Structure 1
Amino acid sequence: MSLTVQKHRERIGLPDGSLLVDGERRQARSGRTWTHRHPATQEEIGTFPVAGAEDVDDAVRAARRAFDEGEWPGLPVGRRARLLHRYAESLREHAEELRGLQALDNGVPLSFGTVYAGSVDVAADVFDHHAGWIDKAGGETLPPYQGGDHLAMTLREPIGVVAAILPWNAPFLLFAQKVAPALAAGCTVVLKPSEHATFSVLRMVELLVEAGLPGGALNVVTGTGETTGEALITHPAVDKVSFTGSREVGRRIVEASAPTFKRVSLELGGKSPALVFPDADAGMAGMTAMGMVTLGLSGQACVAHTRALVHRDVYDEFLGAAELIAASVTYGDPFDPGVLSSPLINERQLERVLDLVGRAERDGARLVTGGVRADGELAAGNFVTPAIFADVDNGMEIARQEVFGPVLSVVPFTDEDEAVRLANDTEYGLGAGVFTADAARAFRVARKLRAGTVGINGFQVEPHLPFGGYKQSGLGREGGRSAYEAYTELKSVLLPLTDELM
């Protein structure tokens, strides 16, 4: 019997697959549409417009009017905060529906939709957190540096029109991380969801409109990166671009920002190391690292610890625990509570992962388990069995490329200095993990790692902590006060308190 998700689609239904421009629903001027196919079954789920340059121009102009002339930027801070808090509660109330839409979008199982990092709860908490900054993140008053009778102060003002471009793998969290601080700061937004995870985002937008957001404050253009995304990042009336995705697209955004000096926030992936020291619980470390690489998103997470740097004394114990996790991963209908992981998002990514696995074997890495396409009932889907490579040299391609699939590379080390050197020997710097029973070592190593977030004996998402990367993992941070401030401009004001010239 073939796997199917159509019965779930009929039960849940889909939100209106239209553009949202200045509060009005509409189709693309060209009439072009995208048909979304489910990654687990290749079944057609639904269609939505592919916004072209004219549609994007309409949306940006609507956001520009809403910012320059509309009510949202000047709305009293108490009302703005109450609206966003109200929206956060609405998200929680619709959590089950949204999890179902995500499963129809990207195949992420409902079981992962209840894990905090992949849940609707984390999105609601992000909105609550940023709503809390609205009446707190002001400027400063400073004493006159040169003396005299005047007042020196700074003001924080919204940056303007924001282009927010989402990936497909974590639509709840990443919608919140971009839209919440932008709206909290008083910006207006043109949002482009991924073509591989559109319907869950459209429903989140509907709920925000229902919460009372004024027309034009949030506009939505659906479509592909090549057409819709390119028109958005190059539009001269966009003041800031916030993007999560590949380094290649990130470089294009930086290039496109140059003519008008757009502000840019980029989160561009990683090849995050987990450093496992001999005094650590190596079994727990192996299960944790392999779980991050396989469970839920099937390794399609930018911060997954895909490089395990393991001390030789606990190497075999670590591998044994990682193999247990690999053997326990289940695939299939994402609505089945027994299914623990997802398919790869499309056939192109499936082929890329299988190609990287083959090249790693040719480079001399030892394939311990997995790394093949699933067959039988799963043959129509983009499923790859969890792979573990042992005896990996840190210079191998499999240890340097972001695979974005269920593949763990295990690299041996001898001492702390070597572990830190190997961990930092990468173009990326998004996340890292340190596994040790020695608190002093944990903090010492964390300080030496060139990574934006370091977890000690575990890893979790916190809405109030900044998240982002060093080196080629991106620019700027999402989460916390720093994210709110990234959607503002800082203005200095000098006010004389006498009639004398300053």
Structure 2
Amino acid sequence: MTFDLYVDGKWTTSTSDERIDVVNPATEERIGDVPAGSAEDVDLAVAAAKGALEQWSRIEPSARAELVSRLADELERRQDEITDLVVAEVGTPRRVARWAQVGLGIIDLREAATAAEDFAWEEPLRNSLIVREPVGVIGCITPWNYPLHQITAKIGAALVTGCTVVVKASEVAPFTARALAEAVDAVRIPPGVFNLVHGYGPIVGEAIAVHPDIDMVSFTGSNSVGKRILELAAHTVKRVSVELGGKSAAVLLDDLSDEEFAKAVPHTVRACYMNGGQSCNAQTRMVVPRSRLAQAEKLAAAAVAAYAPGDPTDGGTKLGPMVTAAQRERVLGYIRTGVKEGAKLVVGSVDAPARTGFFVEPTVFSEVDPDATIAQEEIFGPVLSIIAYDTVEQAVQIANGTIFGIAGAVWSSDDARAKSVARRLRATQIEVNGGKFNGAAPFGGFKQSGHGREGGAFGLEEFTEIKSLQF
């Protein structure tokens, strides 16, 4: 199959003749290709978005929200089909892909549409009328790990607020974005409001970042690329929202009963290994009382037994492959570094399994120094570090002791105590005693995990400018 670009409401041919192969990470087989788009493709997409902006921004927010709701309905109708695409191009196990990949994408759109109902589009302030208007043309640059959710988290809010978008999806996992564009076309969102350009980051992504008619860039991805986007966007003084890496900590406090501890440890393993550990909010550090280190090791090892690497199309598989061969080698490199630096390898291997596919054995380290490489750098694989503490003050310092701050968790027998410690963690989303995901809550980063927020009304705010009319 060959997929082209979606610009101004039409499927078009790239100005570039180069194609990018897409590989199934579980089979290592080529499954298709997409255009390696050009800066000229970006120009055409931006022109379409700019041309559609005035009319789209004048539509009532409720009407825009209705179209976004219809887009969610269309994705839900095609949920099984899109799930299959995610499994094929990312390697996420199907049981996880359906709800965490495609399901979250649907939730993003529904929450954006719902938030529009009570959003303060305008409000009086003394002799002024405060008006919230769309920022304008938005360049959305998204990664491969959640190829639908990372786009819908941006475009749901952007479209509801009256912005138009140019999306550059990851060339590693582009087929899900194609399916989204098909859904956009099916619900008849006006031409030019949504545009999709495939291609490499240094070409298409950078063309978006520097484009004078792009009013804002919303980027999710690595810290190195995020810094490059910020640098390039500075030349046109455009707004930039970046959601970058993470090294989230789950802090298990010293008052947990054995039963509560036995619940918190496997929950943390699951939160670390979700999507193969290829999640910015993965809880990759488990911070436990030193007196319970051996207990944590035993419980974690038992939990890992359920995560044997397997075929992601199999309904019983919990851990699929890494997305590419390069990502597999990156993760294995970190595991070898952990061993070299003296951490205790409780479960796992420094070598890949002897099988087809970009697999890594699920890994748990213990006795990890808080300053060790594997405790400081984002690995983006199924690697959990158990770190011991002696006092709660030290536990908080360890949790906050990285350049990142995107998510985390606190476990305690006392909800008030857990809440108190959670308030001290410098991260955006903190699970308290296993709290459930809330699609209306803000998501984003502290420190070098980025700035800007997605989700519900907080996402809408990111894509609005504030104007004051004085009377």
Kindly indicate whether the alpha-carbon contact (under 8 Å) linking 1:282 and 1:314 is maintained by their aligned counterparts in 2: no
Query: Which residue of 287, 303, 308 maps to 2:266?
Result: 287
Map 1:299-314 to 2 at 5 A: 299-314=277-292
Question: Which range moved further: 224-233 or 409-418?
Answer: 224-233
Q: Which residue of 1 aligns with 2:43?
A: 57
Instruction: Map Cα deviations across residues 369-406 of structure 1 (whole Å, 9 max, x no partner).
Output: 10344434xx2311010111110110111100001011
Map 1:423-442 to 2 at 5 A: 423-442=399-418
Map 1:205-220 to 2 at 5 A: 205-220=181-196
Paired AA for residue 122 in structure 1: L
Q: Which residue of 2 aligns with 1:142?
A: 125
Tell me, in whole angstroms, the C-alpha distance in 2 between the residues paired with 1:482 and 1:291. 27
Q: How far is 1:459 from its partner?
A: 4.8
Instruction: Map Cα deviations across residues 469-495 of structure 1 (whole Å, 9 max, x no partner).
Output: 110000111112121011010000112
Q: Which residue of 2 aligns with 1:147?
A: none
Q: Which residue of 1 aligns with 2:391?
A: 415
Q: How far is 1:329 from its partner?
A: 0.8
Tell me, in whole angstroms, the C-alpha distance in 1 between the residues paired with 2:131 and 2:231. 30
2:145 is paired with a residue of what secondary structure? coil
Q: How far is 1:412 from its partner?
A: 0.4
Question: Which range moved further: 153-162 or 118-127?
Answer: 118-127
Higher radius of gyration, 1 or 2: 1
Q: How far is 1:135 from its partner?
A: 4.5
Tell me, in whole angstroms, the C-alpha distance in 2 between the residues paired with 1:457 and 1:100. 33
Q: 1:460 to 1:105 in 2, by over 3 A?
A: farther
* TM-score between the two structures when normalised by the length of structure 2: 0.96
Tell me, in whole angstroms, the C-alpha distance in 2 between the residues paired with 1:251 and 1:85. 34
Q: Which residue of 2 aligns with 1:447?
A: 423
Paired AA for residue 123 in structure 2: E
Kindly indicate whether the alpha-carbon contact (under 8 Å) linking 1:284 and 1:321 is maintained by their aligned counterparts in 2: no
Q: How far is 1:119 from its partner?
A: 3.9
* TM-score between the two structures when normalised by the length of structure 1: 0.90
Instruction: Map Cα deviations across residues 444-487 of structure 1 (whole Å, 9 max, x no partner).
Output: 10111111111112254321000111100001111121210110
Q: Which residue of 2 aligns with 1:27?
A: 13
Kindly indicate whether the alpha-carbon contact (under 8 Å) linking 1:105 and 1:196 is maintained by their aligned counterparts in 2: yes
Q: Which residue of 2 aligns with 1:201?
A: 177
Kindly indicate whether the alpha-carbon contact (under 8 Å) linking 2:138 and 2:158 is maintained by their aligned counterparts in 1: yes
Question: Which range moved further: 463-472 or 166-175?
Answer: 166-175
Kindly indicate whether the alpha-carbon contact (under 8 Å) linking 1:368 and 1:389 is maintained by their aligned counterparts in 2: yes
Runs (5+) with no aligned partner, structure 2:
none
Runs (5+) with no aligned partner, structure 1:
1-13, 144-150, 496-502
Instruction: Map Cα deviations across residues 281-315 of structure 1 (whole Å, 9 max, x no partner).
Output: 22222101111222x41111111110111112322
Tell me, in whole angstroms, the C-alpha distance in 1 between the residues paired with 2:338 and 2:297. 18
Q: Which residue of 1 aligns with 2:305?
A: 327
Report percent identity of matched pairs.
39
Q: State how many pairs are aligned.
A: 467
Kindly indicate whether the alpha-carbon contact (under 8 Å) linking 1:272 and 1:307 is maintained by their aligned counterparts in 2: yes
Tell me, in whole angstroms, the C-alpha distance in 2 between the residues paired with 1:20 and 1:119. 22
1:331 is paired with a residue of what secondary structure? coil
Tell me, in whole angstroms, the C-alpha distance in 2 between the residues paired with 1:135 and 1:447. 30
Query: Which residue of 269, 282, 285 maps to 2:245?
Result: 269
Query: Which residue of 53, 59, 68 maps to 1:84?
Result: 68
Kindly indicate whether the alpha-carbon contact (under 8 Å) linking 2:309 and 2:362 is maintained by their aligned counterparts in 1: no
Q: Which residue of 2 aligns with 1:39?
A: 25
Q: 1:179 to 1:360 in 2, by over 3 A?
A: same
Map 1:80-229 to 2 at 5 A: 80-115=64-99, 118-137=100-119, 138-143=121-126, 151-229=127-205
Kindly indicate whether the alpha-carbon contact (under 8 Å) linking 2:86 and 2:101 is maintained by their aligned counterparts in 1: no
Tell me, in whole angstroms, the C-alpha distance in 2 between the residues paired with 1:382 and 1:157. 46
Q: How far is 1:72 from its partner?
A: 1.7
Q: How far is 1:338 from its partner?
A: 1.6
Q: How far is 1:155 from its partner?
A: 0.5
Query: Which residue of 36, 44, 48 maps to 2:34?
Result: 48
Tell me, in whole angstroms, the C-alpha distance in 1 between the residues paired with 2:293 and 2:187. 53
1:259 is paired with a residue of what secondary structure? helix
Kindly indicate whether the alpha-carbon contact (under 8 Å) linking 1:233 and 1:257 is maintained by their aligned counterparts in 2: yes
Tell me, in whole angstroms, the C-alpha distance in 2 between the residues paired with 1:397 and 1:232. 34
Instruction: Map Cα deviations across residues 394-429 of structure 1 (whole Å, 9 max, x no partner).
Output: 011110000101111111011111111111111111
Instruction: Map Cα deviations across residues 94-113 of structure 1 (whole Å, 9 max, x no partner).
Output: 11111001111111111112
Paired AA for residue 360 in structure 1: G
Kindly indicate whether the alpha-carbon contact (under 8 Å) linking 2:8 and 2:49 is maintained by their aligned counterparts in 1: yes
Tell me, in whole angstroms, the C-alpha distance in 2 between the residues paired with 1:82 and 1:492. 27
Paired AA for residue 265 in structure 2: G
Kindly indicate whether the alpha-carbon contact (under 8 Å) linking 2:142 and 2:168 is maintained by their aligned counterparts in 1: yes
